[in-house]
Structure 1
Amino acid sequence: MSVHARPHVLLTPAEMAVADRLAVESGVAGMSLMEAAGKAVADAVMDRWPVLPTCVLCGPGNNGGDGFVVARRLREAGWPVRVALLGSLEDLCGDAAACAQAWGGPLETMKPDALDDAGLVIDALLGAGLSRPLEGATLAMVEAVNRSGLPVCAVDVPSGLDGASGRALGAAVRADLTVTFFRRKPGHLLMPGRALCGELLCADIGIPDTVLDAIAAGCRANHPDLWIGSYPWATLESHKYRRGHALVIGGDTMLGASRLASQAAARMGAGLVTLAVPPSAWPIQAGALTSVMVARLPEDGALGEALADERRNAVLVGPGLGVSARTRAQTLAVLSARRPCVLDADAISSFAAAPDLLVEALYGECVLTPHEGEFARLFPGLEGDKLSRARAAAHASGAVLVLKGADTVIARPNGFAVLNDNAPPELATGGTGDVLAGCIAGLLAQGMAPFEAACAAVYLHGQAAAGFGPGLIAQDLPDELPGVLAALRARSRVED
């Protein structure tokens, strides 16, 4: 398989249909695309499983046409293959009908007993553009596949999954392997699609990369290729003041949150990090931190003095502050300074009763990092799939929006979005979000643009967690970052 240009572009099902059409218009035969798709699936299956009795489930569209090619290719390789068709042979048209004719073997009716004696299932029932919940024979078949416990290879997307949103429409096949074509789709990365796809393979089937020039795709998968060119590596001319000064606003109760964030900002390369805390927390934090400076706030929590030094050029507010009027006042004070800033956790939740007050104070150098609960409190009227909601919130606020989760979405106000897919399940533990917020703040302090800083921090945070593995707790992450950064810098130098 060839290496794609712009491999991190994600195409919606509608955009993929345009890519198919443009490929055909450029002289690539539709039958050639279908044959290549089926071959890619068959090759992937034979690479991963021993010879098994295989049931290929074919739908009435092009996805089913791909399935017929898979069936023929496996049969030619000596695999015992049965094909079950949804609908009748007369319903097929175009290339799908031609591929069914080339199969030439018997066809079974699409019903659960088609899985009898099967050792492997090829799901070629439905394509990526599904827009309504499954019903009837299709729903019964999908449920039967999931009940069977058989290994499944899905063609393009697991049937029942919306390739644009990642949503399962009523029910969806749970695949062990999904083979898609030309470019991945948002639904492959968004939950629950990410989990339903199993291993995801993107195959080159002969669509020229030049078709992307005519498709204004507004979504990418997060990867260093997207932001490494602006990563703020230290140079021989660097000194601590040139590398920026991150200010973290801490509270007096949940002290670990702001401590984790401060350590992460320092590990990401900020030349100086100051944690500003109430007097009661000062001796505890000052005794616990060495590389991070600890400043004492006045009793009332006012930030005038903390923000007076303009060399403190990036600010993080929220972790461990508590939901309170004081947190609201501190957040608005940070925003009034008009510096690059990160708003996390309680800096968001404290505005649940007056979300417009916060939204109206935001600006382009702000990064919001809510999880789903915090997002709902700040943007109560936004509904729909995760990608659409993140885009709408970024547009409404004029800020960079990082909607966290196993499928974190980073969105610009102009609608451009990046989906992250390297976060391991071990990140589902308290404090990891505080570390992420600190990572972003550390990059902002070094002058990285907010959107790129958010993308880089989310990716590196995921890499650090994956490198540590099971047993991860939040305080492990800052110590994992140097190794992740060293690998990133080595990669950067090789590519240069």
Structure 2
Amino acid sequence: MTELLTSAQMRAIELVAIESGEITGLELMERAGQGVVEAIFEEWPELAGKEGEKEGGSAPQPAASPRDISGQMKKQVAPRRAVVLCGPGNNGGDGFVVARLLKARDWEVEVFLYGDVETLPPDAKQNCKRWLEFGSVLPLENNLETSTMEADLVVDALFGTGLSRPLLDLGQMLLDICEQRAVGSYTPAAQRQGASARVVAVDLPSGVCSDSGRALCEAGFKGLEQNVAATRAVEADLTVTFHGMKLGHVLGAGARYCGRTVVKPLAIDGCHPTGGLVTLVECGRGQSLGKASQNHKYSHGHALVLSGGHGKTGAARLAARGALRIGAGLVTLGSPRSAMYENAAQLTAIMLHQIDGAHGVSELLEDERFNAICLGPGLGRGMDTQAVVIAALKARRATVLDADALTRFERDPQVLFDLLHQDCVLTPHGGEFAKLFPDLAAKLAAPALTGPAYSKVDATREAALRAGCVILFKGADTVIADPAGRCSVNSAHYERAAPWLATAGSGDVLAGIITGLMARGFSPMQAAEMGAWLHVESARTFGPGLISEDLPEQIPAVLRRLEPEG
């Protein structure tokens, strides 16, 4: 289980490790700096050259003679250049370690400090003094354009996870640095022709809130989409964090600012965070999605998916296909009379049953073998939809509500909340979430002026508590929460990015997958987490060109990869 930490939880882990005598603050800083340098050379081996790091970060040795044994002049390679931006806290201390270790590899290193050496925390001040044995420290207010344009690497060690305010005075300077980032080659020759350095962030790009992934804004601005100067956060090529990922690496725009995130261990036990823990949704080999050989179809449940009327049936069929592919023993599509022929022409393994209105739903659900229901995809927003949803919820079966089944209640969401029960899962995207929880959506959309900023995790947890059931708040940073406070993030970022899911009908398939898992007996939280993970993996298996009809057909390949070996 991968835990996503808040800045407060990470501070607590480090504090316990230090107070227990397991490690000192200076040792932690040294390990962090070493981790950053390791990550840089792992990401870009060409920057490592042939020289190894000299033990302990000692002073660089004199350069070898430019002549070889035959007396011929050797071609000299220009040394790599780095600019390290250090902040006023311990993140800046990590930066001084990075600078010293790069200098020990014969790099040319310039260090800029935001703040005063004398006001640095004790460990950061000690590492600053160590650096001063090898080079100087310049005030960050200096014009950095020349330095960064000639550098191979810019290290952002300004604020990391400790930022709680916008970068009012540094913002434009940092934006200028990021705007210089090269698109093509990073060779020194290319840089001299106008390309710029790679940008590496220590822990988190400066300007980004560690707990929300949001760039902190100046008062009076509405955010990055309206005014790029309002948010002022570093856009890194690589972010190196320690011990574990933070929420800001996967929430909001955090992943975009981070570029790519690498976790380096600190080799500490620390303490295990308890309250408010958020986990990363993961599935691995041996996940219990197989079927026992002695079971029959009814052992794996009977899912009911309700269809809209004529011309609005495709979404429900997509959901039904998702439920069947994930292993529900039987799936029935409930269709109004007006759409029976339309649905019949498209279905084979999925059964079809005529249902007209709320009375028909109640009548069909007298058969207790229907143990999971999917409502919403293509259902329509008329009064009939509200009555159908109410009838289904009164049957107290495992229920997934999506799309029209949610937006139909936007005028008075409390009517819906009063009917929901603990076996329900709501799967809103951003627009649907705003209609059910307008106050929470408004807080999430408001400019993030201070940190920790209100996050998608905060909003989803509050929504789950209010609704009394599991909420799956869709997006590349899908957040899943239950009323008890359990929360997880299904991150489709970095190597798991699946931009092809931005296609009509993909959410309907997700609703069907979750319904099928609940029909098979998985709890609402389990079904939501597993369904979200499988949804992304199915998209990644297919790749570019994906349309929603392709998603259910990729599920068997994903399930095969989960089967235990042997």
Structure 2 length normalisation: TM-score?
0.82
Check if 1:240 corresponds to 2:297.
yes
Q: CA deviation at 1:482?
A: 0.5
> Structure 2: which 5+ residue stretches go unaligned?
48-79, 182-196, 217-230, 445-454
Counterpart of 2:461? 391
For the Cα contact (< 8 Å) 1:276–1:306, is it kept in 2? no
Structure 1 counterpart of 2:29, from 31, 34, 43: 34
Structure 1 residue 429 and structure 2 residue 459: aligned? no
**Within 2, Cα distance between the matches of 1:25 and 1:228?**
40
d(CA) in 1 for partners of 2:198, 2:344: 55
Q: For each residue in 1:386-415, what CA deviation from the matched residue of structure 2 results, as whole angstroms up to 9, or x when unmatched?
A: 111100000011110000001000001112
Q: Matched residue pairs, number?
A: 481
Q: Distance in 2 between matches of 1:119 and 1:361?
A: 60
Give the AA of the match of 1:329: A
Provide Cα deviations, 1:176-212, integer angstroms capped at 9, x if missing partner: 111111111111110200211111111101221x511
Correspondence for 1:204 among 237, 254, 265? 265
What residue ranges of structure 1 are gaps of 5+ in the alignment? 1-5
Divergent runs of 4+, >6 A: none
Contact 1:409 1:418 in 2 (8 A): yes
C-alpha deviation, 1:300, in angstroms: 7.2
C-alpha contact (below 8 Å) 2:237/2:258 kept by paired residues = yes
Q: CA deviation at 1:248?
A: 0.3
Q: Residue in 2 aligned with 1:176? A: 237
Aligned counterpart, 2:92: 64
User: Which deviations, in whole Å up to 9, do the C-alpha atoms of 1:23-71 show, x marking residues without a partner?
Assistant: 1022211111110000000111122223342111110111011011111
* Equivalent residue, structure 2, for 1:381: 439
Specify which of 279, 285, 297 is matched with residue 220 of structure 1.
279
- The one of 1, 7, 11 aligned to 2:5: 11
Amino acid at match of 2:128: A
Using the alignment, how far apart are the partners of 1:305 and 1:216 within structure 2? 45
Matches of 2:548 and 2:199, distance apart in 1 = 35
**CA shift for structure 1 position 119:** 2.3
**Cα distance per residue 1:207-246 (max 9 Å; x no partner):** 21x511x543520011126x976x3420112110001000
CA-CA distance at 1:93 after TM superposition: 2.7
- Bigger CA drift: 416-425 or 449-458? 416-425
Letter in 2 for 1:286: A
| Equivalence for 2:42 | 47
Query: Deviations 1:415-452 (Å, cap 9, x if unpaired)?
Result: 22101113511111110000000000000000000001
Counterpart residue number, 2:54: none
Letter aligned with residue 148 of structure 1: Q
Q: What is aligned with 1:158?
A: 205
The alignment status of 1:404 with 2:474, answered yes or no, reads yes
Task: Report the Cα distance in structure 1 between the residues aligned to 2:418 and 2:532, rounded to whole angstroms.
Answer: 26
Q: How does 1:8-407 map to 2 (within 5 A)?
A: 8-27=2-21, 28-49=23-44, 50-51=46-47, 52-104=80-132, 105-110=135-140, 111=142, 112-113=144-145, 114-136=147-169, 138-149=170-181, 150-169=197-216, 170-208=231-269, 211-212=271-272, 215-224=274-283, 231-252=288-309, 253-298=311-356, 302-382=360-440, 383-384=443-444, 385-407=455-477
Tell me how far apart the structure 1 counterparts of residues 491 and 356 of structure 2 sit (CA, whole Å).
42
Taking structure 1 as reference, are residues 425 and 107 closer, same or farther at Cα in structure 2, changes over 3 Å only?
Answer: same
One-letter identity of the residue aligned with 2:110: R
Superposition deviation, residue 356 in structure 1: 0.6
The partner residue of 2:537 within 450, 463, 481 is: 463
Bigger radius of gyration among the two = 2
Tell me which amino acid in the other structure corresponds to 2:553. D
> Aligned partners of 2:286, 2:100: CA distance in 1, in Å?
44
Structure 2 counterpart of 1:332, which letter? I
Please give the secondary structure, in 2, of the residue aligned with 1:84. strand
Partner Cα distance (2:232, 2:362) in 1: 55
* C-alpha contact (below 8 Å) 2:286/2:563 kept by paired residues: no
Q: What TM-score do you get using the length of structure 1 for normalisation?
A: 0.94
SS in 2 for 1:341: strand
SS at match of 1:314: strand
Contact kept? 1:278, 1:301, Cα under 8 Å: no
Whole-Å separation in 1 of the counterparts to 2:119 and 2:286: 50
How large is the Cα RMSD of the aligned pairs? 1.6
State the alpha-carbon separation in 2 of the partners of residues 366 and 215 from structure 1. 26
Name the CA distance, whole Å, in 2 between partners of 1:301 and 1:466.
41
SS in 2 for 1:168: coil
Q: 1:197 to 1:24 in 2, by over 3 A?
A: same
